[in-house]
């Protein structure tokens, strides 16, 4: 009996020791997680100003929970809770193995010849035992991993929709910004449609509900087939002085030619370096050189690379924007991925503060429509029942009088 009691006591002590060890690992990971956000995430101060984010309270409440955390699932829920408070579509925990392996492989292959690129560098940092164990794969499986066939051109159907409204207005709907490799069918269809209807009195581009994808879809494929002349829009990205933000090379802010910054100086002071970028669209050989009015339909779901298009057309005044306020966060670069050292949890995080040429934070101002429409719901069945489309057709009719 005494022997059984001793064994039971040792077992309790062992389990208790393991629990304390896990708690310590979770705390170390949590502190690293918070430190990485504070030193790199670009929208923290803006969120405190605009969304009443009480960051100090959020992180204290979360850390208190971590101190009594005993399982990985509980720890993941705590991390998710903090990230949800940031309300940023580019910032979340990577939850499944397939998504992580796909992104890692894509970046590794895309930037293999650019070893100094931050995306290539961060993939190297993700190749740790902790990450492999957490997501259930290893170095060999990663090396053998082949990007899914569903991403190849052969398996992608036409994404865009094109039709003539009222016999005289071109209408193009784009649900998603595909990559150049997977948009060949779109390109063929759109080239044919534009050429056949180039005498139309107006063009409507509809990107409502488009959450993003690849900006090359519109900057190198779509707009070059339409525009009559080269269009250039200047924008700025600013980065903090953190470990991951410093992976992106740029000029020191003191050396940059800056726009008239239209947000608090105390927020701008958090950034150390940045990049001035010119987005330029040039007419392609097969451009229809369209000189008639262009209208862009947007809503709150327009985000990321589709927001970049909205901002580009708004800033350049190349189109009249119709609909609702966009979702924002379209100026910048790909989010970073970083791993928590003990648990191996990988976090995706926005890294750039995108500022338009007027000096506004894109994720704050977003893209404001020139013509506000209360109902921006897409009617997939009938364009005649679509308020945004009908409002735009009325504008076109009035413009032609």
In a domain, 169, yes or no: yes
Question: Which pLDDT score, from 0 to 100, does residue 380 have?
Answer: 83
- What is the distance between the alpha carbons of residues 40 and 244, in angstroms, rounded to a whole number? 6
Distance CA 388, CA 393 (A): 9
Render 357-380 in DSSP notation, one character per residue: TTS-BHHHH----SEE-S-----S
* Contact criterion met (CB below 8 Å) for 119 and 334: yes
Quick one: 164 and 73 in the same domain? no
pTM of the model: 0.90
Residue 201 lies inside a defined structural domain of this protein? yes
Tell which of 89, 116, 144 closes a domain: 89
- DSSP 8-class letter at 27: H
- 182: in domain: yes
What number is the average pLDDT over the span 175-192?
A: 94
3-state secondary structure of 349: strand
Q: What is the pLDDT of residue 374?
A: 92
- Whether residue 343 lies inside any domain: the answer is yes
Asked whether residue 154 carries a pLDDT value surpassing 70, the answer given is no
- Residue 151: pLDDT above 80? no
Residue 80 and residue 167 in one domain: no
Q: Residue 30: which CATH number?
A: 3.30.750
Write down the pLDDT at residue 107: 92
Per residue in 93-105, pLDDT (tens digit) is 999 999 999 999 9
Residues 63, 189 share a domain: no
CATH code for position 239: 3.90.226.10
Q: Is residue 95 assigned to a domain? A: no
Question: Where does the pLDDT of residue 1 fall: very low under 50, low under 70, confident under 90, or very high at 90 and above?
Answer: low
Say whether both 306 and 172 belong to one domain: yes
Q: Are residues 54 and 202 in the same domain?
A: no
pLDDT at 164 over 50: yes
Pair 58, 165 in one domain: no
Question: Which domain range does residue 391 map to?
Answer: 153-399
Q: Is the same domain home to 228 and 305?
A: yes
Decide: helix, strand or coil at residue 77.
Answer: helix
For position 218, what pLDDT does the model report?
98
Q: What is the largest CA-CA distance in the chain?
A: 101
Quick check: 15 pLDDT over 70?
no
Whether residues 287 and 173 fall in one domain: yes
CB atoms within 10 A of CB 332: 26
Q: What is the pLDDT of residues 195-205, one digit of tens each?
A: 999 999 999 99
In a domain, 96, yes or no: no
Residues 323 and 178 in one domain: yes
Using CA atoms, how far apart are residues 291 and 318, in angstroms rounded to an integer?
Answer: 10
pLDDT in tens, 226-256: 999 999 999 999 999 999 999 999 999 999 9
Number of domains making up the chain: 2
- The residue from 89, 104, 127 where one domain ends is 89
Q: Is residue 308 exposed (0-12), middle (13-18) or buried (19+ Cβ within 10 Å)?
A: buried
Q: Looking at the structure, do residues 276 and 390 belong to the same domain, yes or no?
A: yes
pLDDT at 2: 59
317 contact partners, CB below 8 Å, separation of at least 6: none
Looking at every residue in the chain, the average pLDDT score rounds to: 93
Residue 238 in contact with residue 352, Cβ under 8 Å? yes
Per-residue pLDDT at 401: 63
Q: What is the pLDDT of residues 24-77, one digit of tens each?
A: 999 999 999 999 999 999 999 999 999 999 999 999 999 999 999 999 999 999
Same domain, residue pair 215 and 336? yes
* Residue 64 located in a structural domain: yes
Q: Which residues pair with 204 in a beta bridge?
A: 171, 295
Confidence band (pLDDT; 50, 70, 90) for 224?
Answer: very high
Q: What is the DSSP letter of 335?
A: P
pLDDT band for position 3 (cuts 50, 70, 90): low
Report how far residue 121's alpha carbon sits from residue 375's, in angstroms, rounded to the nearest whole number: 44
Q: What is the pLDDT of residues 290-347, one digit of tens each?
A: 999 999 999 999 999 999 999 999 999 999 999 999 999 999 999 999 999 999 999 9
- Residue 153 — pLDDT band, cuts 50, 70, 90? very low
Q: What is the mean pLDDT of residues 182-207?
A: 97
Has residue 322 been placed in a domain?
A: yes
Q: What is the pLDDT of residue 152?
A: 47
* Element spanning 320, H or E: strand 320-323
Going by the DSSP 8-state scheme, the letter that residue 321 receives in this structure is: E
Residues 73 and 188 in one domain: no
Please, which pLDDT band fits residue 12 given cuts at 50, 70 and 90? very low
pLDDT at 156 over 80: no
Q: Which of 89, 106, 123 is the last residue of a domain?
A: 89
């Amino acid at each position: 009996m005494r022997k059984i009691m001793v064994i039971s006591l040792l077992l309790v002590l062992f389990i208790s020791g393991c629990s304390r060890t896990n708690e310590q690992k979770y705390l170390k990971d949590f502190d690293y997680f918070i430190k990485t956000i504070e030193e790199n995430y670009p929208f923290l101060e803006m969120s405190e100003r605009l969304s009443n984010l009480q960051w100090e309270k959020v992180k204290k409440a979360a850390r208190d929970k971590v101190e009594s955390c005993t399982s990985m699932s509980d720890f993941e829920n705590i991390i998710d809770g903090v990230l949800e408070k940031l309300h940023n579509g580019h910032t979340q925990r990577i939850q499944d193995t397939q998504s992580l392996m796909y992104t890692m492989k894509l970046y590794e292959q895309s930037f293999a010849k650019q070893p100094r690129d931050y995306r290539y560098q961060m993939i190297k940092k993700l190749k740790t035992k902790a990450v492999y164990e957490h997501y259930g794969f290893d170095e060999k499986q990663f090396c053998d991993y082949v990007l899914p066939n569903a991403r190849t051109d052969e398996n992608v159907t036409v994404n865009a929709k094109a039709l003539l409204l009222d016999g005289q207005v071109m209408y193009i709907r784009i649900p998603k910004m595909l990559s150049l490799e997977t948009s060949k069918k779109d390109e063929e269809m759109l080239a044919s449609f534009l050429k056949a209807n180039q005498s139309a009195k107006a063009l409507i581009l509809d990107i409502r509900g488009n959450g993003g994808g690849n900006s090359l879809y519109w900057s190198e494929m779509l707009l070059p087939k339409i525009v009559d002349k080269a269009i250039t829009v200047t924008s700025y990205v600013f980065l903090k002085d953190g470990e991951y933000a410093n992976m992106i090379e740029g000029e020191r802010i003191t050396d940059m030619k800056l726009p008239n910054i239209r947000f608090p100086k105390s927020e701008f002071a958090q950034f150390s370096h940045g990049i001035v970028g010119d987005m330029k669209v040039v007419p392609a050989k097969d451009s229809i050189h369209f000189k008639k009015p262009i209208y862009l339909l947007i809503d709150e779901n327009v985000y990321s690379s589709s927001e970049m298009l909205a901002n580009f057309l708004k800033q350049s005044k190349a189109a009249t924007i119709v609909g609702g306020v966009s979702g924002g966060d379209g100026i910048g670069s790909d989010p970073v991925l970083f791993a928590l050292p003990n648990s191996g949890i990988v976090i995706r995080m926005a890294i750039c503060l995108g500022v338009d040429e007027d000096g506004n934070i894109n994720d704050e101002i977003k893209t404001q429509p020139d013509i506000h429409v209360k109902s921006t719901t897409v009617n997939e069945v009938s364009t005649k029942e679509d308020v945004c489309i009908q409002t735009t057709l009325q504008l076109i009719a009035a413009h032609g009088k």
